[in-house]
Structure formats: structure tokens, C-alpha cells
Amino acid sequence: MNLLKYIIFSFCAIATTAVMAQKPIYLDETRSIDERIEDLMGRLTLEEKIALIHAQSKFSSAGVPRLGVPDLWCTDGPHGIRPEVKWDEWDQAGWTNDSVVAFPALTCLAATWNTDLALLYGRSIGEEARYRKKDVLLGPGLNIYRTPLGGRNFEYMGEDPYLAGRMAVGYVRGVQSNGVATCVKHFCLNNQEWNRHGVSVHADDRALYEIYLPAFKAAMMEGGSWSVMASYNKIDGQHAGHNYRTLQQILKQEWGYKGAVISDWGGTHNTDEAVRNGLDLEFGTGTNGLYGGSKNYYDSYHLALPFLDGIRSGKYSQADLDDKVRRVLRLHFHTTLNTNKPFGSLHSPEHYAAAREIGEEGIVLLKNEDNLLPLKLDEKKTILVVGENAVKMMTVGGGSSSLKVQREITPLEGMQQHFPNTVDIKWVRGYVGDTDGSYNGVTTGQDLSETRSFRELVDEAVAEARSADYVIFIGGLNKSYGQDNEGSDRQSYDLPYKQDSLITALAKANANLVVVNISGNAVAMPWADNVKAIVQDWYLGSEAGEPLAAVLAGTVNPSGKLPFSWPKALNDVPAHRLDAYTAHDEEYKESIFVGYRWYDKENIATLFPFGHGLSYTSFVYSKPKVSKRAISASDSLTISVDITNTGKVAGKEVVQLYIADLESSLPRPVKELKAFRKVSLAPGEKTTVCFTIGSDALSFFDPDKHAWVAEPGKFEAILASSSADTRTKVRFELK
Ligand code: GLC
């Protein structure tokens, strides 16, 4: 009898334990995310579903407290993790533990043309986001560089959708390996800051599908970005934040995107459209300090009580709600409910090393007459450094990507640390730009005040320049309003603060002048012919001065290539030449002919072409070989070329493959970038680079067929060191 009792007791004990131990499906990570979503959907009340799809604070949306689903925390920005702001306001929260590493601006990442660095960048910034307990990183920015006046181009990755897309895939995968979602932005056609909330853009289908969508598609469908941010502007009259064509038809139907569409902050304007046109998670429709009364303003959001009331009244369908909730839950399962995510890290030596490496490979040597660079520092030299940007911290400012850094090495500090002690470095102001060292309550602590006049500053710089062995001018733009700054476009293509006249005066005073331009945009350079060496230095973040000094001293051989064309004059730019840059109904009249596609077509010489960047060594390309002379649509073609370092120092070359469609039924660019590879070669070393392409690299978007088409005919593979420096080419045919 006792045995029976023991067996029964044991059975009950095991059964109870099993039931107690059995997790609900939504918390069982052995189950698929789809299963977990459906299980959780069945447990949610209507109010809980509504709470999931709109903000509860400036940067967070609610989870489901009753079921242990955590709140979802978003953070800016693409270059580093934004300092904490107050629950309801943009103002700084005043924490003392939220300083970060600032990584180089994404124009610099694009200029590396190194997809391995894109992965490293994403992994590193994702570790800082994870450590700061953030679930969604609001970046990377992928809008195409259409005008050099664009205030946020420094956050984006240039004029070519293929380059931007390749770099985005690596960045997204790196960030998301930390259980932090990327939120690629701003989807789409947000190519200027001028009236960014109100401008209505029209782009024809070819421009949309061939230029403005591909980088987003790569980032979301290949990189797997778990979310996307809809942009402020209108598209054909309807706000992008709830645009039926871009969010429902293209993103969710044509592409089959499963992630969540998040609004830009304040980008939601209409409840009906927000419900029906594919917006999933609404942020920033208010508040900044709970204006709109002391009640919980977040209930006023379009996807809050208005949506809830509409469902109860039958005005809106449960299906519209459930699609949004499923997408937001999927975001949670990748992040807040993902117990396998790593712990991240902050301020690590690895992150500083990554920032430095990306800066070193992104700096572009635009001109180097008489091999003025690298500086010959092996014996006693005096170097005069001129310019505000040599000392000005640039990690603060620029808008939502502004940061509070643990440290920032300025260009002057970089040179002082990096150059040998045989060098005597002196700095003079040269010009006065923006003396305000604070943004949104984050202050640099620098005192850039200046009482002397511009004339006095120029006279001082010129006098000092005459006796120096080298003069290094460090200027350009900065992160102030009307420069490289969110919410405003530049008002001129020229350098501000009378820098041109200062540079011209310095060039007359000393032939050994190096101009270092710090910016996220091209600028006019009327003095370019009178200056021997010009370096494009981006906003390099915390390590800024270190990579620059290394390149100037030759410790690092520059290998960056321009991610956008550098026009001689603003009127050479199609958006301006065609009077297609406006603040209201704006038609992208240039269609697909953006950047080098335009300059090739119109035979307009640029100051420096897309893909341009010099090295301290030289590279020779062999005749290319093709695996076949003719391919069918289902075939692939391998194009190989030998690259040899024919100089005296090690260096890196970016081999660019452009494809020219020699006969097409619709107008096509002369050539388009379809592949690239960065190779590192010792002096005398040779390597073979192979590109394998398929018909997708030969296709164009046919608006009548609403499909990509690869037309049979002759093509040419162009292997180049820039879009204007063809090294070799070979023809082939698509049968
Ligand atoms: C801003 C920007 C967006 C940013 C968001 C949150 O207005 O457009 O890039 O992520 O709002 O700050």
C-alpha cells in the first residue's frame, strides 16, 4: 500500500513541478518568434495592445507590465548613444554616467568603402547601446546625398545607393548582434532639411526604385533591420509618416517587410492615415513637458485613445491594430524579451580603437602636389596650425546626433600627441566661427571667445606662416545652425567665416600649405589650384585628432574615397541647375541622374569625382579577365583583375566596378557602381580581385512593367580607382 501511495505522490509532485516549470509559450525561447507572438497576442487586452504602439515618454513605449513584457527604450543616434533627456522633454536629464564614445560620422564610414569596418562600427556602437540598456538605436541614416546644402548629409552615406546599402548591411548586422534593433532612417525622400516637415517631394518611379530605395531595401531585407523610421516630409502630398504608397504598398507588400515602422518624432499628423497606412509605433507627437494640459498627453496620440475609441466604435478594424501589435511584439522579442543578448560594453579600448581605425580609413587625400604629404618630420621642423576647427570640439551639436563624450581629441591635440618632439607646433586662430560650445544643455567647456578682428587674425596668421616649414590650415564647416546641422540646410556652397580669403592669404605666404577641410558636405574651393595638398577630414568623433595626425605624418597611408561627388560650383549640381531644390512641391527633375550619374551624362567636370582618394603609394591594374564573353539572364559572370602596389609604402586601394549598359531602351547613366573591394598591399605585392555579378547588376527599373529588367545587349565592366579614373575595362554580352 505504501508503495502505491509513494508512486501516486511522486507522480503528483512531478506533474506539479512540470506544470509550474512550464513557461508560457511567449517566454519560451525554444519556440519560434511567430509562435510566441501569437501566444502573447491571445493574452493581451485591447488597452494593452494600444499601449504597445505609442510612446509613453520622450524615448520609450510601454511593454505589458502584467505579463512581464519590458518597456521599449529608443535612443539616438547613428554616431553614438545620446545623453539621457527628461521623461517628457528634450532637456538634459543631467545624469553623470551617460557619456559615451563618439564614433566617426557616417560619411566617414562610407568613405572607408570597407564593409568589414561597417560591421565593426555597428558592433561597437551596439555594445554601447546595449550597455546603456537601449533597445532601438535610431540609425543609420540612409538618405541619398542630392544637394551639398543638405544639413544632415554628415549623418548619411553619400550619393550612391549601392555604396550606402553595402555599408548599411554591415552596420545593421553589427548593431543587432547585441540584441539592439537598428531603425534605418528617414524613410524616404528626406534629402534636405529645408522645410523638412512640410516639403512634398515627387520622384518618378525610376528615381525612387533605382536611387532612393535601394539602400533602405538592402538594410532592411538583407541587413535585416528590425525597424525603420518614416520621415517627416510628404511624398506626393501625403506625409511619409503614414504614406500608403511607401509603407503599405512598397515596404510591406512589395518587399514583405516584417519589421516595425516607427514615426519620426512629431511626424504623425492624421489618425485615419496613421491607422490605415502602415505606421506601427508613434513617437514624439508631444510632449515637451506635457504641454496640452497636465493629463497624460500620450493618450492623445493618434494611435492611442483616438485609435482605441475608433476600434470600439467600429470605425477602425481590429486587423489594423493587430498587424501593428504583431510587428511591435516582434521588435520586443528581438530586444526586450531576448534573454540571450550580450551585456555590451562602454568606453572600452576596443571602441576607441574602432573609432580610430574608421577615421584612419575614412580620411580622403584629395590633392597632394609635389608629394607635400606626408610631412617630413624626421628633423627639426616648425609647423603652424591655423583655424578654429583645429581646436573646436565637434561631438556636440548637429541636432539629434549630438553627444556627450567621455573625451574628444581635437586635431591640434592629435598633432601635439602624434608628431615627434623634433616638431615645434604653434596654433593661431585664423578665423572665428561658432564660439557657442553647447547644444541642448551639453557643453564642451571650451572658451572660444575672441576679441580681435578678422583682419588682425589674418595678419597674425600670415606673419607666422612666412617663417614656418609647414602651414596646416584646419577649417571647414561645423555643427551649427545653417551648417552640418539637423533642421537647417546651408545657405551657401561657400565656406563660412571668410575662410576663403584667409586660405588665399596663407597660400601666398607659404607654398607648403596643407588645407584640412572638416565637414560632412562638399564646399566650394576657389583656392584649390593654389594649394598643394587638400585633405577631406570628416567629423571623426572622440578620436578625431589622432587619425588626422597619423595621416599627415604618414604613420597611416590614407585610403578613403569620396562617397559623393565634389562639384566646382553649386550650379553644377542637378538639383540646383534644374531649379529642383525647393521648400514646397519639389519634383526631383533630375530623376536617376544624381551625383556622378549626372556629371557623366552632362560631361561636367567636378573638382573631385565620386570614389576619388589619393594614396602615398600607387597601384597598377592588369587587363581584366572575364569568365565568359556572353551570359544568359540566369548566369553569373566573374570579372578578375590583378592589382599591384607599385610604390614604396604599404597601402590600401578600393577597386571599383562600374557597369555600363551600352544599349538600352530607356535612358541609363553612363555607368553605375555595382561592386567594390578594398585591398591592402605591401610594396610590390600583387593580388587578384574577383567580382561575380548577375543580371541584377545589369538591370534597370522599368516603370511600365513595374519591374527590374535586364535587357539583352552589350555591356562594359569598368574597373576604376574613382568614377573618373578608369584603369581598365572589358566588354561582355547579355544574351
Ligand atoms: C529627430 C530626427 C530623428 C531622430 C528623432 C529623435 O527629429 O529627425 O533622426 O532620431 O527626431 O530625436
Each residue's pLDDT tens digit, 254-266: 999 999 999 999 9
Q: What is the pLDDT of residue 275?
A: 98
CA distances from 620 to 23, 321, 560, 684 (A): 63, 59, 18, 10
Mutation to probe ligand 1, out of 233, 486, 488 (largest number of atoms < 8 A from CB):
486
Atom 7 in ligand 1: which residue has the minimum CA distance?
265
Q: Which atom of ligand 1 is nearest to the CA of 196?
A: 8
Q: What pLDDT digit, counting tens, does each position of 563-574 carry?
A: 999 999 999 999
Q: What is the pLDDT of residue 293?
A: 61
Q: Which atom of ligand 1 is nearest to the CA of 231?
A: 8
Residue 358 one-letter amino acid: I
Question: What are the counts of helices (DSSP H) followed by strands (DSSP E) for the chain?
Answer: 18, 29
- Poorest-pLDDT segment among 151-155, 192-196, 291-295: 291-295
Lateral strand order in the sheet of 713-722: 630-631, 725-734, 713-722, 651-661, 672-681
Q: pLDDT > 70: what percent of the chain?
A: 98
Q: What pLDDT digit, counting tens, does each position of 278-308 carry?
A: 999 999 998 776 665 667 889 999 999 999 9
List, by residue number, the catalytic residues: 264
Calculate how far, in angstroms, residue 69's C-alpha sits from the geometric centre of ligand 1. Answer: 25
C-alpha R_g of the chain: 27
Q: How far is the first Cα of the chain from the last one, in angstroms, to the nearest whole number? A: 86
pLDDT (average), residues 186-214:
98
Residue 4's pLDDT band (cuts 50, 70, 90): confident
Atom 5 in ligand 1: which residue has the minimum CA distance?
265
What are the pocket residues of ligand 1 if the criterion is a CB atom closer than 6 Å to any ligand atom? 76, 138, 185, 264-265, 400
Residue 65 has pLDDT above 90, yes or no: yes
More confident residue, 20 or 93: 93
Residue 46 has pLDDT above 90, yes or no: yes
CB of 674 closer than 8 Å to CB of 697: yes
pTM above 0.85, yes or no: yes
Calculate how far, in angstroms, residue 111's C-alpha sits from the geometric centre of ligand 1. Answer: 24
Which three cell numbers, joined as nine digits, stand for 76?
539616438
How many other CB atoms sit within 10 Å of the CB of residue 558? 28
CB of 84 closer than 8 Å to CB of 112: no
Residue 725 has pLDDT above 90, yes or no: yes
- Poorest-pLDDT segment among 281-295, 508-522, 599-613, 663-677: 281-295
pLDDT (average), residues 46-61:
97
